Amino acid sequence: MPIISIEQAGKYDGQEVTIRGWLYNIRESGKLVFPIFRDGTGIIQGVCALKENPEAFQALKGLTQESSVIVTGTIRAEQRAPGGFEMGVSKIQVLQKVSEAQPYPIQLKEHGVDFLLDHRHLWIRTPRQASILRIRAEAVRAARNYMDSQGYILTDAPMFTPAACEGTSTLFEVNYIDDQKAYLTQSGQLYIEATAMALGKVYTFGPTFRAEKSKTRRHLTEFWMLEPEAAYADLADMMTLAEGLVSAVVQSVLANKSIELETLKRDTKKLENVKAPFPRITYEEAIAILNKHNNPTKFGDDIGGDEETIVSNEFDRPVMVHRYPAAIKAFYMQPDAERPDLALAFDMLAPEGYGEIIGGGQRIHSLELLKQRLQEHHLPEEAFNWYLDLRRYGSVPHAGFGLGLERTVAWICGTEHIREVIPFPRMIYRVYP
Amino acid sequence: MPIISIEQAGKYDGQEVTIRGWLYNIRESGKLVFPIFRDGTGIIQGVCALKENPEAFQALKGLTQESSVIVTGTIRAEQRAPGGFEMGVSKIQVLQKVSEAQPYPIQLKEHGVDFLLDHRHLWIRTPRQASILRIRAEAVRAARNYMDSQGYILTDAPMFTPAACEGTSTLFEVNYIDDQKAYLTQSGQLYIEATAMALGKVYTFGPTFRAEKSKTRRHLTEFWMLEPEAAYADLADMMTLAEGLVSAVVQSVLANKSIELETLKRDTKKLENVKAPFPRITYEEAIAILNKHNNPTKFGDDIGGDEETIVSNEFDRPVMVHRYPAAIKAFYMQPDAERPDLALAFDMLAPEGYGEIIGGGQRIHSLELLKQRLQEHHLPEEAFNWYLDLRRYGSVPHAGFGLGLERTVAWICGTEHIREVIPFPRMIYRVYP
């Protein structure tokens, strides 16, 4: 008798198989019970009649939610069943019946978000959360495959760093060994600029940390970022790479996670458009769009969350805004040769109000200009000495960007808050469970 | 004129191409210069004659190591050249000539390891270090592909954890927001036990942290670990998964990174054997091997580094040692039903003295037994309350393991110290650069 996963059920139409999982829900109707089983790969409805299978019927009747079960039965096509197949249950082994006195905490009803976050280790079992996690995994897989296919070499940036790179207010301090201090990385960029000079085209994809005190739906203290960096590359190269990457991720999720998107009731029409090329507009063109919509943003202002939504609503796919005022961008941004007040930087704004998912651009490769910028930004040259070495020894034009995984997955899934798209979200007052 | 990477040179035999990279070394011989260029994908020797290309010759003559250059020339087969091809240089643009007054710090000679680690951002440009990083990237790619191919879903475990899981002496404390404390994860295992109950088969692959004060060649404070976990799986399932994973990683590196292995002068014969199935011996059989070699280890003792080498030397591929005394293994290990003094745990020992690269086993799924073990190990039940929930609500037999990426890559590369196989190693007194 084959032991199968529920996602394979369609291949076993008419055959007797065994499934190992949990009871997700059960409906009783006289001498029939309709259990729903889950095994992590999907959900299948069962049916069991007292008359035909009295032992299995008795075991199922009154069985508590999330009890662990090994079920044997015949798979058959059933249009009315979710997934198109159901199982005629002939035999069931209950591994653990969840106590009626202490039932499964997450009932099939609405719970408050704090309760759910306190029970995140169980919350992830619900079809919605499980679907989100499976989509996240697919997005990571697609993103890595795309980077590899473009000849980018993975070089993991370190988590421990000796000093703050950009401002210290959102930096986590670690009590390192023997009273040393270390800081958790906020971005791997500076490090992969070094590996790009060694390997040409590189990326890092790991956790990054920000001590964000803002309690918005877009912030986590611990989040994953994919950051490519390439030697001999410029702003346009990075915009091309970024649109290729985001298209590949979205199209892979559409192709391989359609059941999960359906579980989330995601409107996939809006995702189907997400194909390169993406529109590219200048910062100044973005300002003009805002002004057209009576938004007062003017040259030199940051484009905030509300403004991002107004701009992105003009387009049917992500839009890339480039050439921001140098004054509002990081110290390492290469100025535009024709307009030195502009930085060769770009952001990618996701549609549907999801805001910035990518930020990047071309880096300064002149030693003198980089030193001048460190001074202007009141950053200590000493801490950046190794970084300046990259401009002392064979400096070349280079560029890169960072893609926020959780923001990207939240947009693809259409979730309201990014806390749902990471297995165990960390926020200002939450490091549990 | 095509711009190519050096690894593509073989495809352009007889054609004029442009390469963008750095001068790795140069030899001058009267009216000829023989520069060696690198671009991160490989190394190619050039040749340039004063008579034929006086401008390029003058630009190359006396050019300093690591100067950045864009070079145009004709590719031609040349058996004596490394890689089998060389470039007849016709044109060169020097982007930045490294100053003769402040030459590239890493000369083509031996340097002390502290000096090299202080200059890790430059050290990675040497062929040996670049090859190691490329092999690491291939190992990660192969490992992820293998896990995905086996139906395991990536679920990233958190970096911030609320409490110590196994002992506090090697735990890093973080100053979290508003005087809260958090700790950096030592293993994602407990968390992926939760995701396994949600998704069936899962893995996490990310940084883990240990405040290791031991200065051995096998320890880093920050290292990457791949940890699978599967519901309804047992010890034997995990040994099968582990040997499949390690075989896939080694065979992928052999197939796709032969040039890099050659650069490292790695004896690949010893790697070619690494194919599943691997030998499986019990702990007691391992003790017998040790005693046969006059090593006094007896039942109940840990198998240390020297002992691992004696045992693994008996085999031509990694060996899996299983069923250790429960007393020397972690609190969550499932006892062997037939021999409750043994834990259903296993370690995989790499050949050639590289020691343990995998540790894992079957987890306790009984709530009562797990509570008892927490008491026996003097661990606070309160901190593990969420973890105990996994045994309260639909507990099932489950198993998993952790593979240390750096130890695995160090073995594949044949490096003496694992500090070379991570881009920016962190050790007891090193968080720089």
Q: Residue A124: list chain B partners with CB under 8 A.
A: 194-195, 198-199
Q: For residues B393 and A226, what is the distance between their CA atoms, to the nearest angstrom?
A: 36
- Identify the band that residue A141 occupies on the pLDDT scale cut at 50, 70 and 90: very high
Looking at residues A112-128, what average pLDDT do you find? Answer: 97
Q: For residues A176 and B431, what is the distance between their CA atoms, to the nearest angstrom?
A: 9
Are B199 and A5 in contact (CB < 8 Å)? no
Are A426 and B160 in contact (CB < 8 Å)? yes
Residue B108: per-residue pLDDT: 77
Q: Give the residue from B67, B89, B85, B65 showing the smallest Cα distance to B77.
A: B85
Q: Give the residue from B226, B240, B239 showing the smallest Cα distance to B323.
A: B239
**Do B74 and B148 fall into the same domain?**
no
Q: Is residue B116 part of a domain?
A: no
Q: Which element (helix H / strand E) includes A309?
A: helix A305-312
Looking at residues A136-144, what average pLDDT do you find? Answer: 98
Q: Is residue B356 part of a domain?
A: yes
**Do B256 and B327 fall into the same domain?**
yes
Q: Tokens representing B377?
A: 């190990």
**Do A39 and A157 fall into the same domain?**
no
Mapped onto helix, strand or coil, the DSSP state of residue B263 is helix
Q: Do A38 and B393 meet the contact criterion of CB atoms below 8 Å apart?
A: no
**Do B283 and B198 fall into the same domain?**
yes
Are B174 and A151 in contact (CB < 8 Å)? no
- β-strand partners of B81: none
Residue B131: per-residue pLDDT: 98
Q: CA A124, A126, A128, A134: dihedral to nearest 10 degrees?
A: 50
Are B20 and A173 in contact (CB < 8 Å)? no
Q: Residue A168: list chain B partners with CB under 8 A.
A: none
Q: Residue B41: list chain A partners with CB under 8 A.
A: 151, 199-200
Q: Tokens representing A393?
A: 């020894």
Q: Sheet containing B201-209: which strands, arranged edge to edge?
A: B153-154, B201-209, B222-231, B398-404, B355-363, B342-350, B319-325, B280-282
Are A136 and B154 in contact (CB < 8 Å)? yes
- Which of the two residues, A393 and A83, has the higher pLDDT score? A393
| CA angle, residues A39, A45, A46, in degrees to nearest 5 | 100
Q: For residues B137 and B419, what is the distance between their CA atoms, to the nearest angstrom?
A: 15
**Do B276 and B390 fall into the same domain?**
yes
Residue A166: per-residue pLDDT: 58
Are A156 and B41 in contact (CB < 8 Å)? no
Q: Is the pLDDT of residue A122 over 70?
A: yes
The neighbour count for residue A371, using CB atoms within 10 Å, is 15
Q: Is residue A353 part of a domain?
A: yes
Residue A216: per-residue pLDDT: 78
Q: Tokens representing B6?
A: 């050096």
Q: Residue B175: list chain A partners with CB under 8 A.
A: 172-175
Are A172 and B173 in contact (CB < 8 Å)? no
Distance from the Cα of B131 to chain A's closest Cα (Å) equals: 9
Residue A107: per-residue pLDDT: 86
Q: What domain range includes position B36?
A: 3-96
Q: Residue A155: list chain B partners with CB under 8 A.
A: 133, 137, 423
Ordered DSSP codes for B357-398: EEEEEEEP--HHHHHHHHHHTT--GGGGHHHHHHHHSS---E
Q: Do A90 and A74 meet the contact criterion of CB atoms below 8 Å apart?
A: yes
Distance from the Cα of A17 to chain B's closest Cα (Å) equals: 16
Residues B69-90 have pLDDT tens digits of 999 999 999 998 878 999 999 9
Are A432 and B162 in contact (CB < 8 Å)? yes
Q: What is the CATH number of the domain that holds A25?
A: 2.40.50.140
Q: Residue B196: list chain A partners with CB under 8 A.
A: 40
**Do A306 and A251 fall into the same domain?**
yes
Chain A: residue whose CA lies nearest to B94: A394
One digit per residue, the tens of pLDDT, for chain B of length 433 reads 899 999 999 999 999 999 999 999 999 999 999 999 999 999 999 999 999 999 999 999 999 999 999 999 999 999 988 789 999 999 999 999 999 999 999 987 889 999 999 999 999 999 999 999 999 999 999 999 999 999 999 999 999 999 755 567 789 999 998 888 999 999 999 999 999 999 999 999 999 999 988 777 888 999 999 999 999 999 999 999 999 999 999 999 999 999 999 999 999 999 999 999 999 999 999 999 999 999 999 999 999 999 999 999 999 999 999 999 999 999 999 999 999 999 999 999 999 999 999 999 999 999 999 999 999 999 999 989 999 999 999 999 999 999 999 999 999 999 999 999 999 999 998 999 9
Residue A131 CB partners (closer than 8 Å, separation 6+): A257, A259, A260, A261, A263, A264, A413
Q: For residues A381 and A373, what is the distance between their CA atoms, to the nearest angstrom?
A: 10
Residue type (1 letter), B203: Y
Residue A163: per-residue pLDDT: 72
Are A180 and B232 in contact (CB < 8 Å)? no
Q: Is residue A426 part of a domain?
A: no
CB contacts < 8 A (A, B): 271
Distances (CA, A) of B79 to A142, B35, B76, B86: 40, 17, 10, 9
Q: Is residue A165 part of a domain?
A: yes
Q: Residue B418: list chain A partners with CB under 8 A.
A: none
Residues in chain A: 433
Mapped onto helix, strand or coil, the DSSP state of residue A142 is helix
Distances (CA, A) of A220 to A209, A217, A236: 8, 8, 30
Residues B247-293 have pLDDT tens digits of 999 999 999 999 999 999 999 999 999 999 999 999 999 999 999 99
Q: Residue A119: list chain B partners with CB under 8 A.
A: 386, 389
- The position carrying tokens 């010893």 is B270
Q: Dihedral of CA B260/B264/B266/B271: which sign? A: negative
Q: For residues B432 and A160, what is the distance between their CA atoms, to the nearest angstrom?
A: 9
Residue B165 CB partners (closer than 8 Å, separation 6+): B186, B187, B189, B190
Q: CA B232, B237, B241, B244: dihedral to nearest 10 degrees?
A: -150
Q: Is the pLDDT of residue A402 over 60?
A: yes
Q: Is residue A103 part of a domain?
A: no
Distance from the Cα of A285 to chain B's closest Cα (Å) equals: 33
**Do A193 and A77 fall into the same domain?**
no
Are B104 and A393 in contact (CB < 8 Å)? yes
- From the CA atom positions of chain B, what is the Rg in Å? 26
Q: For residues A155 and B139, what is the distance between their CA atoms, to the nearest angstrom?
A: 12
Whether the bond between B433 and the residue before it is cis, its omega within 30 degrees of 0, is yes
Distance from the Cα of A300 to chain B's closest Cα (Å) equals: 32
Chain B: residue whose CA lies nearest to A100: B393
Backbone angles phi, psi at A357, to 5 degrees: -115, -20
**Do A145 and A291 fall into the same domain?**
yes
**Do A146 and A269 fall into the same domain?**
yes
Q: Give the residue from A161, A184, A223 showing the smallest Cα distance to B173.
A: A184
Residues A12-56 have pLDDT tens digits of 999 999 999 999 999 999 999 999 999 999 999 999 999 999 999
Are B199 and A130 in contact (CB < 8 Å)? yes
Are A96 and B423 in contact (CB < 8 Å)? no
Q: Is residue B427 part of a domain?
A: no
Residue B163: per-residue pLDDT: 72
Q: Is residue B262 part of a domain?
A: yes
Q: For residues A118 and A376, what is the distance between their CA atoms, to the nearest angstrom?
A: 45
Beta pairing class for A43-49 and A85-96:
parallel
Q: Give the residue from B96, B333, B53 showing the smallest Cα distance to A370.
A: B96
Q: Do A348 and A378 meet the contact criterion of CB atoms below 8 Å apart?
A: no
- Which of the two residues, A413 and A107, has the higher pLDDT score? A413
Q: Is the pLDDT of residue A379 over 70?
A: yes
Q: Which element (helix H / strand E) includes A208?
A: strand A201-209
Q: Residue A140: list chain B partners with CB under 8 A.
A: 154
Q: Number of structural domains, chain A?
A: 2
Q: Do B397 and B196 meet the contact criterion of CB atoms below 8 Å apart?
A: no
**Do A89 and A130 fall into the same domain?**
no
* Mean of pLDDT over chain A: 96
Q: What is the CATH number of the domain that holds A290?
A: 3.30.930.10
Q: Tokens representing A217?
A: 């739906």
DSSP-based helix, strand, coil % in chain B, nearest 5: 35, 30, 40
Weakest mean pLDDT among A159-173, A221-235, A252-266:
A159-173
**Do A50 and A127 fall into the same domain?**
no
Distance from the Cα of A410 to chain B's closest Cα (Å) equals: 15
- Identify the band that residue A215 occupies on the pLDDT scale cut at 50, 70 and 90: confident
**Do B39 and B74 fall into the same domain?**
yes
